[in-house]
Amino acid sequence: MARGALTLNANKTAPWMVNLIGAIWWVEPTVCPAPLVQLFEKATVAYGDTVIEYAMDIVDTYEAKLRADMSKLLTDWGVPDGEYTTWTMDVVRLAAITLDELWYNSQAAGSPEGFAIFNNMALQTMENALNNYIMGKVYMEFGSHVGTATLNEVTVTLADIPAPATTTDYEAMVRLKTQRVANTIKKLTTDLTLKNLRTSRDNGFYGNVNPEDLITVWNIDALNSLNIDLSMIRNPEYLSFGSTAEITDNFVTTINTEQSTGDGATIVSREEQTIGTGDSAVKLKAGEIVPSGTVIPAGKSATIDPTTIAFVTTRGAFPLIYGFRNSKVFNNIIADVDTYCIKVGHNTLKFSRNHPFVRVKMGAQPVQPQPEP
């Protein structure tokens, strides 16, 4: 049954519309593309395959004195210890819908034209459902990740600014706050690209980052509260190296490791799930606010983190590798219906230990009164 105030008849059309309708405005379902997902997409491999990334620390160097040290050429130096990270194509997600095969048997629309439009819309919902699943999966896993490297978090230090008494003072305070954020991110990205750091990777290996591979992912809700000129946002070289992307605050979270109860504001679902059964069932997508009173099992929800401003990482840090994406149609000749299915296979998402992942957080700031209008 469609959601709405109208009572629908067997033709799924409001009774007063059956003979009097002049036009139907069809609203195409839409799920917007996700730039952050595109930054992490990798080449497709066969389902069930495992992709391996092997990382190795660099060797030490020694002072040599030409002929006096020639014997060192016969020394068995060995190789540094390496580390594997593996991703296996072991996740399958399905979207399906069953539609009438013949327009005159359909309850969806009263004409061949309306029937065709209705079916096209219905099929589009499957594509949107899978796109939304992939987006939610990537964004939620990304925004809740916590690295174990020494340099897995930096904090923007805010000055103890005197409470503003005028609008001019308040605007100056906001500009200074923004400058500190910009300086912190610029210094971080400079260090990652120009300095050789062991502290930025979970495996502790030595090295730096190619500037072209660097990604700064802004918490757009935090960014909107800053007084950053649009030219700085759209031209990332002002604030950082590499690419920039955006993520909304409902995906910038900390995982709830215990059972939690929705408050309608700060608790979000970590995945697509249904809580409860029957008429009381609550359907949630990844990143969706959990309604007040809805109880979510441990590990299935997360709490929005308002202190995280941005993340700094690289393109290779969080690969999304597809195993397949295909569609099939199954015909039920007795019922004159077709069932359309789309399946997507992808890897279990996890971060590489050989790439930096740093949260940029806002430091504590004094409570400051708003200026009088």
CB within 8 Å of 5: residues ≥ 6 apart: none
Residues 282 and 217 in one domain: no
Instruction: From 203, 81, 196, select the one nearest 148 (Cα to Cα).
Output: 203
Is 214 domain-assigned?
Answer: yes
Q: Are residues 161 and 194 in the same domain?
A: yes
> Given this model, what pLDDT does residue 156 score?
87
131 and 277 both lie in a single domain: no
Identify whether residues 158 and 231 lie together within a single domain: yes
Are 120 and 258 within one domain? no
95 and 196 fall within a common domain? yes
Q: For residues 195 and 170, is the Cβ–Cβ distance under 8 A? A: no
The count of structural domains within the chain is 2
The amino acid at 60:
D
Please indicate, yes or no, if residue 18 is contained in any of the structural domains. Answer: no
Asked whether residue 195 falls in the same domain as residue 259, the answer is no
For residues 164 and 170, the answer to whether their CB atoms sit within 8 Å is yes
In a domain, 13, yes or no: no
Per-residue pLDDT at 240:
63
Shared domain for 294 and 332, answered yes or no, is no
Structural domain span for residue 338: 34-59+81-252+305-362
The pLDDT value recorded for residue 120 is 85
Separation CA 276–CA 238 (nearest Å)? 49
Distance CA 12, CA 9 (A): 5
Contacts 24+ apart (CB under 8 A), 274-283: none
Report yes or no on 90 lying in a domain. yes
Q: Mind listing the pLDDT tens digit of every residue in the chain (373 residues)? A: 344 444 444 455 444 344 444 455 555 555 555 678 888 887 778 888 888 889 999 888 877 776 666 677 777 888 888 888 899 989 999 999 998 887 666 666 566 777 788 888 888 888 889 989 999 999 999 999 998 899 999 988 876 656 555 666 667 777 778 888 888 888 998 899 988 889 999 999 998 998 889 999 999 888 887 766 555 555 555 666 678 888 999 999 999 999 999 999 999 999 999 998 888 899 999 999 999 999 999 999 999 999 999 999 998 899 998 888 888 899 998 888 899 999 989 999 999 999 999 999 988 765 555 555 5
Tell whether 10 is covered by a domain. Answer: no
Q: What is the pLDDT of residue 31?
A: 56
The verdict on 258 and 239 lying in the same domain is no
Whether residue 21 is contained in a domain is answered as no
137, 223: one domain? yes
CA distance 163 to 167: 11
Within-domain flag for 172: yes
Same domain, 344 and 287: no
H or E element, residue 112: helix 112-143
Tokens (6 digits) for 177 = 């706050």
Residue 89 lies in a domain: yes
Give yes or no: residues 200 and 324 share one domain: yes
Task: Using DSSP bridges, classify how beta strands 295-296 and 260-261 pair: parallel, antiparallel or unpaired.
Answer: antiparallel
